[in-house]
Structure 1
Amino acid sequence: MPYVHHRFWPKGLPHAIRIPQVSLTHYLEVAAARFPDKPAIVFGGNALTYARLRERVDALAGYLRECVGVQPGDRVLLLSQNCPQFTTAYYGIMRAGAVVVPVNAMSTTAELRYFIDNSGARVAICAQELLSQLQPLVADESGLASVLVYAYSDALAARDEDNDDGERDALPEVVRAPREALTATGLVDFEAALARGLAPPSSLPAADDLCVLPYTSGTTGNPKGCMHTHATMLASSVASQLWRGFHAESVFLAVAPLFHMLGMQNAMNLPITLGATVVMMPRWNPALAARLIERHRVSVWAAAPAMLIDFFAMPDAQQRDLHSLAVLSGGGAAMPESVAAMLQTRFGIVYNEAYGLTETASFLHANPLLRAKRQCLGVPTQSVESRVVDPVTLEELPPGELGELVTHGPQVMRGYWRDPGADRAAFFERDGKRFFRTGDLVAVDEDGYFFMRDRLKRMINASGYKVWPAEVENAMYGHPAVHEACVIGVADPRAGETVKALIVLKPEFHGQVSEQQIIDWSREHMAVYKAPRIVEFLERLPKSGTGKILWRELQDAHRNVPSR
């Protein structure tokens, strides 16, 4: 019996896919053989070809094996902003048969110590600008013995005064900074290590070998490592490229951090499986992004809604030729209706909202390109089965009822790293299948599309009424003065909890609109129990490295502030 959503399935796309029984590194070998002179990565005006990328990956793998003693299954920490060296390091670690531990570039020394202790990493690869955060852990009780260090500037094109378009100068100073001498014990120059040209291991990793250990954000406690194999990563990547019609001539913009699944999968692993070109940015710069899209005819861009809101509100977005953009995709938060409508009306682009987690290697649900619904998680993609269950009993609920999204698919991680307790809480067996509990509250409509209502523990209970912050936030973006919004629950002596909205105003509305006016507008546009009772204006909202608003941090800070 076909699922309801199969009525809107992309034509010609199978409902299930076979997962390639090879490693991610296999695809780099193939791309280098097929397109040796093709740019794999464009960065700061310089192009790194597939042949050269493969050479560097092989040399790093040889060095890790022969000079640092990295063995198959060992974990290697990777700490960096986006740059070609990140890709070299990522694939070099895997080519050596080891496991990449990608960590947030904003991690503190204490956080890095946790990742090292928990993963058991003895070797790290680090960008020069972040070495001060990592160096205190070298050769101390953390067990970190060696750190390979690179400077971003080594990947930049040499300055050409006769043909200088300013692309290099638009990069942050820290990216243009020259390589510094390394004198401390345990530090190794990355470029010097590659220059030795040591041969990689003769055998490639197997599909079921562990290859990457990304850590969850830790919003419910200490971060947990998610065990992904080459097969789970490829399941997500291959499904995404088929769903969205990507090909070897697609040009991808890499802006989302590569240490996070959104960037790692959509702007690094997926393009390499295709042999496509990536135009890479080290940090978010909307004006530079517009120039790069126009110059390099970028056709694919995966980004969080907050990033796209900033980009398309910028004057350059109206002045540049952006017609090459064919697919904008992302997730993590719903795209506000007003922005989605603007993209379609002004640029002819339908934002392809999708849904995934670190635990599912990113791509899990997506909207069909020709039958999308806005503010929607879409439908389960190829080989994925998702259900809505009662969070307490885990019994499946009928369509339309609110419950927890649980899922079964080939991209689901093998489990949490050395945490059997977390595995028992996250997985359960049903009908002979292993389902993962996402912790997200959803409802399914009559067409089989999934709609996010919120995280399981983010619900606000106001006088017995359940309020879902994501729903309120989406509505508030309809106010012309609202640039960003985060809705949280705060203590209320009468209602138990009440709704509070933290708002960043658009610059032209500063001093022109009051908190009370926002409250009054909200009561006109949503049920009174949903409308914020408190509004506070902020200059900015804290965000993760991937652009997600840190609602829990805000909620913790405002939880006990007396209501007015």
Structure 2
Amino acid sequence: MSAHQQFWPRGLPATLHAPLTTLPQNLAVSAARYPERAAVIFYDGVLTYAELSRQVLAMAGYLQQRCGVARGDRVLLVSQNCPQFVVAYHAIMQIGAIAVPVNAMCIANELDYLASDSGAHVAFAASELLECALPCLASGRLRQVIVHRYAEYVGPETDLELPEWICAAEAEVPAKVGITLWREALAANLAAEPVATDYDDPCLLPYTSGTTGKPKGCIHTHRTVNAAVHGSVLWRKLHAETVFLGVAPMFHLLGMQNCMNLPVYLGATVVMLPRWNRDVAAVLIERYRVSAWSAPPAMLVNFFSNPALEGRDLSSLALLWGGGAAMPEAVAGMLRERFGISYNESYGLTETAAFLHANPVEHGKRQCLGIPTFGVDSRIVDPETLEELPRGEVGELITSAEQLMKGYWQNERANAEAFIKLDGKRFFRTGDLAYIDEDGYFFMRDRLKRIISVSGYKVWPAEVESALYHHEAILEACVISVADAQQGEMVKAVVVLRPEYRGHVSEADIIAWARQHMAVYKAPRVVAFVDELVKSSTGKILWRELQEAERLHAVAS
């Protein structure tokens, strides 16, 4: 028996039989079971399961009959969280096409690359993001863009604070050939010809962040997506009466799975926000008795440091979970002590449809990737020899699982680098450095190439960052390397101070504190204060951008 089996959630099997349905079939089942239940609540506007299903079928008909979208075609989805995202996503798949979610922060040339690489000729776009799609339309890369406005689904009597860009006038959408308004496409009320789809058909092509070279599309099928969804539901004991807060961006797998696919699979309700607003989020949790929330640690740190939470009833919140970065122990402790909430840390990738490892809810460890979940075979190997390493040694995490993508889209070179065969199984090389403790739990050290070498000693930035979060004045921290003639590299901490400590705590104070709380070679030799750290749309701190800026500064000096 594996060491981690002693902590396996009671009553759950080691492997699962994932539902052999398509994602639109999941929606159809929930609509049949709970037609009048709110599927999505958006600024107090309610979209029931019956109406959601009706709109999906109408939009699927428009895609097929007016846009010429056929089985296997790719369709871009350029939007922040909203009911239209949910409708468009399922409409694409209803006719056997493949959804290509696009980061809402992308610019025109990035969108052009995604359209070109995926071969998409049709797109859905939110009105404020249309501008970056117009060059693709002008060049002929895209033939048709269906444009939606968030305001169309806002509750007519909402008292919630609405961002200005949601209230923007309809005149912002230009009258151009190839552009159709969302409501016009729905009003056509066209019926799609039935398309034979299978659970092993490709349905989703999310692109990785492109940490090396161009972003790569990950080929997911209904089976791989459902395997992750079904596993997450059972692991966390979620059900149809759960009310989810959907704030993590749905163009990313963390938000897509936990804020859309998972609630739809259950027939549950998701209370949705298009962008992060901690004050509005607090109102929504209280108003709709939100009980489950998946979010990156940075978002939760920001939310629970809000003084406006005083007097808010957050008692409905039962479970918080997420991944993408380790939850600082100091923050996790605050959640337990002040709010009685445990944060369930987990680990997954775009390539694994998000859910892969998780901490048992009743036996979690902090700053931990958890244990391999249902049917997942993860190992730690030497990155050079690919030989499996003994427990406790740091190496590359490789994994084999049902939720693992089929491969990268039209990129055999990337596939050859990413996949290996061991013991007759196909394993994916994650590029993450980790180790397994004595109980069989996996702990992240860092990305394979994110190591700082100080006089020959290896420093893992994530470990230093975690320690810095224990300083009462530090709100956020990111650790990078600085070239040093004597030691090779030095550790530098880029820090955001809490407002009340700004002007009262110096860089020297942080350095002195760090030397008292970690080995001297790990302690930052340089500290820089900034007002905010640059983050991705999913809340991850973009350490590579900070590292590159440091490198360019050194070259210029």
- 2:86 is aligned to 87
* Cα displacement (A) at 1:559: 2.3
- 1:257 is aligned to 249
Q: The residue matched to 2:513 in structure 1 has which SS?
A: helix
- 1:73 is aligned to 72
* Cα displacement (A) at 1:319: 2.1
Aligned with residue 329 of structure 1, among 318, 321, 325: 321
Alpha carbons 1:361, 1:412 under 8 Å: kept: yes
- 1:6 is aligned to 5
Q: The residue matched to 1:148 in structure 2 has which SS?
A: strand
User: Which letter does structure 1 place at the counterpart of 2:155?
Assistant: A
Q: 1:204 to 1:300 in 2, by over 3 A?
A: farther
Alpha carbons 1:150, 1:179 under 8 Å: kept: no
- 2:166 is aligned to 175
Q: The residue matched to 1:138 in structure 2 has which SS?
A: helix
* Cα displacement (A) at 1:51: 0.4
* Cα displacement (A) at 1:220: 1.3
* Cα displacement (A) at 1:462: 1.2
**1:528 correspondence with 2:520:** yes
Aligned with residue 148 of structure 2, among 147, 150, 170: 150
Deviation larger for 489-498 or 25-34 = 489-498
Q: Deviations over 1:300-322 (max 9, x none)?
A: 00000000001000012232111
- 1:116 is aligned to 115
- 1:99 is aligned to 98
Distance 1:9 1:318 in 2: 37
* Cα displacement (A) at 1:205: 2.4
Aligned with residue 193 of structure 1, among 177, 182, 185: 185
Q: The residue matched to 2:259 in structure 1 has which SS?
A: helix
Distance 2:367 2:193 in 1: 47
- 2:377 is aligned to 385
Alpha carbons 1:154, 1:179 under 8 Å: kept: no
User: Which letter does structure 2 place at the counterpart of 1:353?
Assistant: E
* Cα displacement (A) at 1:557: 0.2
Distance 1:98 1:283 in 2: 28
Distance 2:424 2:137 in 1: 46
Structure 2: state its 5+ residue gaps: none
Deviation larger for 181-190 or 523-532 = 181-190
* Cα displacement (A) at 1:200: 2.7
* Cα displacement (A) at 1:176: 2.1
* Cα displacement (A) at 1:177: 2.3
* Cα displacement (A) at 1:22: 1.2
User: Which letter does structure 1 place at the counterpart of 2:500?
Assistant: E
**1:202 correspondence with 2:191:** no
* Cα displacement (A) at 1:133: 1.1
**1:343 correspondence with 2:335:** yes
- 1:412 is aligned to 404
Distance 2:258 2:373 in 1: 16
Distance 1:31 1:427 in 2: 36
- 2:359 is aligned to 367
Structure 1: state its 5+ residue gaps: none
Distance 1:319 1:531 in 2: 39
Aligned with residue 352 of structure 1, among 338, 344, 349: 344
* Cα displacement (A) at 1:345: 1.1
* Cα displacement (A) at 1:219: 1.3
Q: The residue matched to 2:374 in structure 1 has which SS?
A: coil
- 2:390 is aligned to 398
Q: The residue matched to 2:131 in structure 1 has which SS?
A: helix
- 1:486 is aligned to 478
Distance 2:82 2:420 in 1: 39
Alpha carbons 1:81, 1:257 under 8 Å: kept: yes
* Cα displacement (A) at 1:204: 5.4
Aligned with residue 288 of structure 1, among 280, 287, 291: 280
User: Which letter does structure 1 place at the counterpart of 2:177?
Assistant: T
- 1:454 is aligned to 446
User: Which letter does structure 2 place at the counterpart of 1:319?
Assistant: G
**1:519 correspondence with 2:511:** yes
Aligned with residue 275 of structure 1, among 257, 267, 270: 267
- 1:55 is aligned to 54
Alpha carbons 1:491, 1:561 under 8 Å: kept: no
* Cα displacement (A) at 1:560: 4.9
Give the alignment's TM-score, normalised by structure 1. Answer: 0.97
Give the alignment's TM-score, normalised by structure 2. Answer: 0.98
Distance 2:109 2:309 in 1: 40
Distance 2:47 2:197 in 1: 24
Deviation larger for 74-83 or 202-211 = 202-211
Q: Deviations over 1:101-146 (max 9, x none)?
A: 00100100010011011000000000001111111210415x2111
* Cα displacement (A) at 1:388: 0.3
User: Which letter does structure 2 place at the counterpart of 1:157?
Assistant: G
User: Which letter does structure 1 place at the counterpart of 2:86?
Assistant: T
- 2:465 is aligned to 473
User: Which letter does structure 1 place at the counterpart of 2:164?
Assistant: E
User: Which letter does structure 1 place at the counterpart of 2:142?
Assistant: L
